[in-house]
Amino acid sequence: MSEEPERHPDDVQQHLRDVQELLSRQRLVEDLVLRQDMPRHDLVEDLVHRQHLAELQHRLDELHPADIAFILEALPLDERLFLWNLVKAERDGEILLEVSDAVRESLIETMDPQELKAAAESLDADELADLAPDLPPEVIQDVFQSLDTEEREQLRAAMSYPEDTVGALMDFDMVTVREDVTLEVVLRYLRRFDELPEHTDKLFVVDREEHLRGILTLEQLLTNDPETLVSTLMRTETIISFEPGDDADDAAQAFERYDLISAPVVDSEKRVIGRLTVTDVVDYIREETEHEILSNAGLREEEDIFAPVWHSVKNRWGWLAINMVTAIIASRVIGAFEGSIEKLVALAALMPIVAGIGGNSGNQTITMIVRAIAMGQVEHSAMKRLIRKEMGVAVINGVFWGGFLGVMAWWLYGSWSLGVVMTSAMILNLLLAASAGVLIPMIRTRFGRDPALGSSVMITGLTDSGGFFIFLGLATIFLL
Amino acid sequence: MSEEPERHPDDVQQHLRDVQELLSRQRLVEDLVLRQDMPRHDLVEDLVHRQHLAELQHRLDELHPADIAFILEALPLDERLFLWNLVKAERDGEILLEVSDAVRESLIETMDPQELKAAAESLDADELADLAPDLPPEVIQDVFQSLDTEEREQLRAAMSYPEDTVGALMDFDMVTVREDVTLEVVLRYLRRFDELPEHTDKLFVVDREEHLRGILTLEQLLTNDPETLVSTLMRTETIISFEPGDDADDAAQAFERYDLISAPVVDSEKRVIGRLTVTDVVDYIREETEHEILSNAGLREEEDIFAPVWHSVKNRWGWLAINMVTAIIASRVIGAFEGSIEKLVALAALMPIVAGIGGNSGNQTITMIVRAIAMGQVEHSAMKRLIRKEMGVAVINGVFWGGFLGVMAWWLYGSWSLGVVMTSAMILNLLLAASAGVLIPMIRTRFGRDPALGSSVMITGLTDSGGFFIFLGLATIFLL
């Protein structure tokens, strides 16, 4: 055993480079064949060609499905599909699960119903449920027919829960034991398994009707005398369990808070029906935060960076349209004061500062409040206190930055009254930003809406139009 | 055993409400004492007072440290400190580890060196290393003296690795076994433990010099014949291990990709020196994405929502200042065209639309590119292809939205040439946004910088000034 048991985390980058290298050599050969106008079956070329293909295929077979998924995502469409055809059919299912939604779509488009059915049949019920929305209905129908009764029931259950619930994340792989046996019996029972379900850190102790009675960890199983009864060891208090309808966010927070690896999912009668594992939770957390970051920037969903232009246009269209509406409103606010701007053109140059800094400051407030609400740490009763605090921050910033800008306006345009208007407008717009930054998310929560969705667009729209209105309004009253 | 073994994920909200209820009852009694000007030691009041305190303390003792941390974060400063004093001293350490940085600061400020020392001494070396930056130097000195040689070495090691490396996340709790023993021997060895290190899903097989030879999972241990030798079962290939200097982001991605629960950390000679677990990785992922979301909104770090106003001002100051600079630059660009605006005041009303939509569109591009770079999926060679694609999106959006706005400008101001200028400015500014959205992060990566940091501020600054310049410039040339 001279081999060093070692693989490095950044190896996947190396895999990517290797595959790209092989692909480009492959392409070189093909180019040669085409350019020299040689018959495609020329013996020598064909040999080189096949050799490269074999090497590439060999590399792919050795890679973890997640690594293949990574490489597929990083390749432009033509190379991606070329590679996808080299992947062994029986691995298609697990790889489709790993790739991003956008890339999955591009791969599924090229597969015929037979291939899709084969890929789907290699998966567990909970995995199948994840893939199902992307499959053509007739393929799902076919796969459904091929399942046994229990699997059908599981698939039906898994597909019936809305996204963002525990039911949509859970799997059905769990090991249950009875409480009236000794650890020795449990150990013998486990030895009959070829392998345990992935990430098994605890066994669920159930009665004859599958009601959850307690939890026995593998640790307890390993560190205690085999003669001990399960019932004397199992934990029965403060067991963290979930129901399939529970919010996935809450479950994710519980996993983080209590450092869980797995937890039972029970129905309303406390019967164990499934299991939630940390890896599903990690994937969920990553997806949720991805989604939040993308929608903050006005992207509907993750993009395949090599997607056709038209896909990207559709993905970004919605938020641009909303942005357009708020921009036009702000423009009409300015339009109402065109007379004032004509008389004092300095207003045109100064007004974007008031609007811009108001927007930035409002985004700071709303981001903080939205996060605190998401963590469940802001009760409605705290609203007054938070508004007072944010108002305090706004006044300090307004006086300081507004004062600075007032002096700048005075110095640039030689009018101290313009400076005073600038400072006052800054303070007022920051106060508007602060109160809207607290009120918008809290009111939306009160009415059961997601406080995060579009919060940045809303607050920016408000501080833009508000900022222009306040600044130009004050200027019209006091300067003209 | 009639008790239902069940705890629900949203219980922590209930805990919070219970504690708030107890606190407010507590306050009622105190108010009564104060208002009635009764001697504070009046017997009856004192009894009620003590009863509430005891109840509160009892509740706290029952709660998980993470739940206490959650409640402390959700309470205003005075109630938070009141509660903190009720927490048993021996639990201080683990709770300090769980609270957010901002809240930790507020708690540590109220503790004297003795209390801090006691809290610190209850922690493992790797936990201590996390807490150390927030502790006064003399406390660290004291704690350091009280450690044994091995722990000192571990603490020194853990503190020597920069944040964002595997070394800063790893712990030192691992179980190692030899390859020349049977599973039976391993099982007997484990039975001697009172408990295993948390999240032990695999044992590290090492030689006499602690070199990593292979991995034995608990699953293998449980599902195989006890007479089997470790060496025949242990995995020696494709073991994922890390070195302490490895980037924590890469490690987190590897944990996600390969669904790991724990992994060995080895030194350059492949000696096992520590362990990385999924819970550390989950915490890290959460912190990183939090940080990204906060810094996108211009917040330096997470805020204690009940922090004094002054703390918040400091936290938000930096980005506001940068925003101010870009706003002033944009304002001076407009200032250069004041003559044009004076002649055609419609320009003042239309220019923020060009700038705003350019900014929004640029943010969409840059967010997508930054994320793809972070995932390691964009090679420098892909730059040309990406720019071409983003240019395509920009042209489509520019023609469509710009065309719409051009018609609107024509309709509002009755000048078709103003409409043409509007449309052209939109197309050009979107092209600027697209190319900058690809180039800024790729060039920053090329020079070894973090492509995400401040990317939104930079692109918005550029599209604001650029949008004003393009629109007002075109108008000056073609309309006046």
Any B CB within 8 A of A334 CB: yes
Contacts of B408 in chain A (CB under 8 A): 328
- Strands, DSSP E only, in B408-463? none
Q: Which positions 423-442 of B are in contact with A (Cβ < 8 Å)?
A: none
Which residues are CB-contacts of B335 (< 8 A; sequence separation ≥ 6)? A346, A349, A412
- Work out the burial of residue A164: count CB atoms within 10 Å of its CB; fewer than 13 is exposed, 13-18 middle, 19 or more buried: middle
Any A CB within 8 A of B227 CB: no
Any B CB within 8 A of A408 CB: yes
Any A CB within 8 A of B66 CB: yes
Domain boundaries, chain A: 11-164, 176-296, 309-479
Any B CB within 8 A of A357 CB: yes
Q: How far apart are the first and last CA of chain B?
A: 89
Q: CA-to-CA distance for A335 and B413, rounded, in angstroms?
A: 10
CATH assignment, B11-165: 1.25.60.10
Look up the ipTM and state it: 0.84
Any B CB within 8 A of A176 CB: no
Which residues are CB-contacts of B276 (< 8 A; sequence separation ≥ 6)? B166, B169, B170, B171, B242, B251, B255, B262, B263, B264, B265
Radius of gyration of chain B (CA): 31
Contacts of A225 in chain B (CB under 8 A): 191
Any B CB within 8 A of A445 CB: no
Picking from A354, A332, A364, the residue whose alpha carbon sits closest to that of residue A459 is A364
β-pairing, A212-217 with B212-217? unpaired
User: Domain A11-164 class?
Assistant: mainly alpha
β-pairing, B202-206 with A212-217? unpaired
Contacts of A289 in chain B (CB under 8 A): 285, 289, 293
Q: pLDDT digits over B6-22, tens only?
A: 444 556 777 777 777 77
The residues pairing with B263 across neighbouring beta strands, listed in sequence order, are: B276
CA distances, B306 to each of A411, B60, B103, B374 (Å): 39, 21, 9, 33
Superfamily assignment of A176-296 in CATH?
A: CBS-domain (3.10.580.10)
Contacts of B294 in chain A (CB under 8 A): 367-368, 371
Nearest CA in chain A to B310: A393
User: Which pair of tokens denotes residue B25?
Assistant: 């009852």
Number of Cβ within 10 Å of residue A54's Cβ equals: 11
Tell me which residue in B195, B222, B258 faces A190 most closely, judged by beta carbons: B222
Record: contact A328-B408, CB cut-off 8 A:
yes
Four-way CATH pick for B309-479: 1.10.357.20, 3.40.50.300, 3.60.40.10, 1.20.120.1200: 1.10.357.20
Record: contact A5-B364, CB cut-off 8 A:
no
Contact B240, B260 (CB under 8 A): yes
Q: What is the pLDDT along chain B (480 residues), one digit of tens a residue?
A: 334 444 445 567 777 777 777 777 766 656 555 545 444 445 555 666 777 788 888 888 888 898 899 888 888 888 888 889 888 888 999 999 999 888 898 899 889 888 898 888 888 888 888 888 888 888 888 888 888 888 888 888 888 898 889 999 999 988 999 999 999 999 999 999 988 998 999 999 999 999 999 999 999 999 999 999 999 999 998 789 999 999 998 899 899 889 999 999 999 999 999 999 999 999 898 888 888 888 888 888 778 777 788 888 988 888 899 999 999 999 999 999 999 999 999 999 999 999 999 999 999 999 988 888 887 777 777 778 888 899 999 999 999 999 999 999 999 999 999 999 999 999 999 999 999 999 999 888 888 888 888 888 889 999 999 999 999 999 999 998
Any B CB within 8 A of A133 CB: no
Any A CB within 8 A of B44 CB: no
Record: contact B377-A327, CB cut-off 8 A:
no
Record: contact B236-A332, CB cut-off 8 A:
no
Q: CA-to-CA distance for A410 and A422, rounded, in angstroms?
A: 9
Which residues are CB-contacts of B17 (< 8 A; sequence separation ≥ 6)? none
